[in-house]
Amino acid sequence: MRAHNLALVLHTAANSTYPPSRAAVAAATGLTRATVSALVDDLVAGGLLVEVDPPPRTGAGRPAAGLALTSAGPAGLGLEINVDYLAACVVDLTGAVRHRQVEHADQRPVEQAQALATLGRLAAAARLAAEADGLIVAGATLAVPGLVADGLVRVAPNLGWQDVDAAAALLAVPELADLPITVDNEANLAALGELRASFSPGDGARHSFLYVSGEIGIGAGLVIDGELYRGVRGWSGEIGHVTVYPDGRPCRCGARGCLEQYAGQEALARDEQLAAAALGIALSAVVNLLDVPVIVLGGAYAPIFGTLREGIEAELRRRVLTAGLAPVALRPAALGPDAAMRGAADTIIQAVRDDPAAWLRRFT
């Protein structure tokens, strides 16, 4: 119960437009001022909240002390390995990016162990820089363009990987040896990154959208009511292999007419309007099945959003049963190529936000 209320208070403080007073948090949560005071004391002592200058006065009464997330406490390390770059970033509890480094280089010819070693150096440098800034890196998450199960990269076709234990490789770097490291799919994490980026403080609405990542392959991350849906075995989001033209072009997966053959980066270079139509058909299926109100286009789609938009929307209007009742909103990714890395870092700080009690226990 205390753990739950700690999280409640922390979230209220995080999602307020201005740093709220203890009394404001109490009003928002339904708890008593006394209870909130006690909880806030713990959160301040544990280095998650700080008192800041009060918000502008509104009337009579003792001035309030504003409560805000600390920018000197726990931080998340976000890592990404993709076909043409390696990247690392550190995000603090407030969601601010405190460190960011991207190394462009084609990873396809690079040996797998080599690539992971380079990423490890990048990650170690990021951690040291962050800790010199007074941050405490609480964990790391790695985004990979492939299927992940049980922490292993089962298959990443465009990297040529199969059954790779990327977390173990990173843990072999001495500076990272004590970090909890998890691995997840790039589209899933990018969806989480977009979720955080599109979240405006004070807005209590729970977002639902499909993030579509157009790279060499096409992946998708589904966010429902503010939560990522991973599928039973973590293999959801393979929109690239949704059938668009049942007897169409053969795909490297063995089937025919997969979306990837019509809207992957190669196809995109050939014919953007064909790509838009194919995307529209596949996305219509998603909306009919899942009633998703928003679709976010990321990866290679983001920069050419304007070109694709009309072609996709035409198919959505035609093929979505409820299009007449409420249209589907289409928008480009806000974070561009950083989405996955940012989402990866977010998972770490989100874990602290969701269970501050666990963080406080670290000091006992």
Partner DNA sequence: CGGAAATTGTTTAGTGGTTGAATTATTTGA
Partner DNA sequence: TCAAATAATTCAACCACTAAACAATTTCCG
Among 15, 18, 47, 64, binds DNA (CB under 7 A): 64
Of 32 and 273, nearer to DNA (C-beta) is 32
- Quick one: which segment of 34-42, 45-53, 317-325, 354-362 binds a copy of itself (CB under 8 A)? 317-325
* Assigned token pair, 166: 């990327």
By CB under 8 A, which span of 47-55, 170-178, 191-199, 227-235 interacts with a copy of itself? 227-235
Residue selected from 21, 208, 213, 347 as contacting DNA according to rule CB under 7 A: 21
Binding mask 321-350 for a copy of itself (x = CB under 8 A): xx--xx------------------------
Judged by CB under 7 A, the stretch of 58-66, 106-114, 162-170, 217-225 that binds DNA is 58-66
Strands 181-185, 209-214: pairing is: unpaired
Please list every residue from 252 through 311 that binds DNA, using CB under 7 A. Answer: none
Q: Which helix (H) or strand (E) holds 343?
A: helix 339-354
Q: Are the C-beta atoms of residues 217 and 145 closer than 8 Å to each other?
A: yes
Q: Which residues have C-beta within 8 Å of that of residue 298, sequence separation ≥ 6?
A: 190, 194, 211, 212, 213, 214, 332, 333, 335, 336, 339
- Under the binding rule (CB under 8 A), the answer on residue 232 touching a copy of itself is yes
CB 208 within 8 A of CB 292: yes
Query: How close are the terminal C-alpha atoms of the chain, in Å?
Result: 19
Q: Of 122-130, 298-306, 319-327, 356-364, which part binds a copy of itself (CB under 8 A)?
A: 319-327
Contact 156, 215 (CB under 8 A): no
Residues 155/164, Cβ–Cβ less than 8 Å = no
CB 146 within 8 A of CB 217: no
Q: Which does 33 bind (CB under 5 to 8 A by kind): DNA, a copy of itself, none?
A: DNA
The binding site for a copy of itself (CB under 8 A) comprises 1, 147, 154, 208, 220, 222, 224-225, 229-239, 241-246, 253-256, 258, 281-282, 284-286, 288-293, 318-322, 325-326
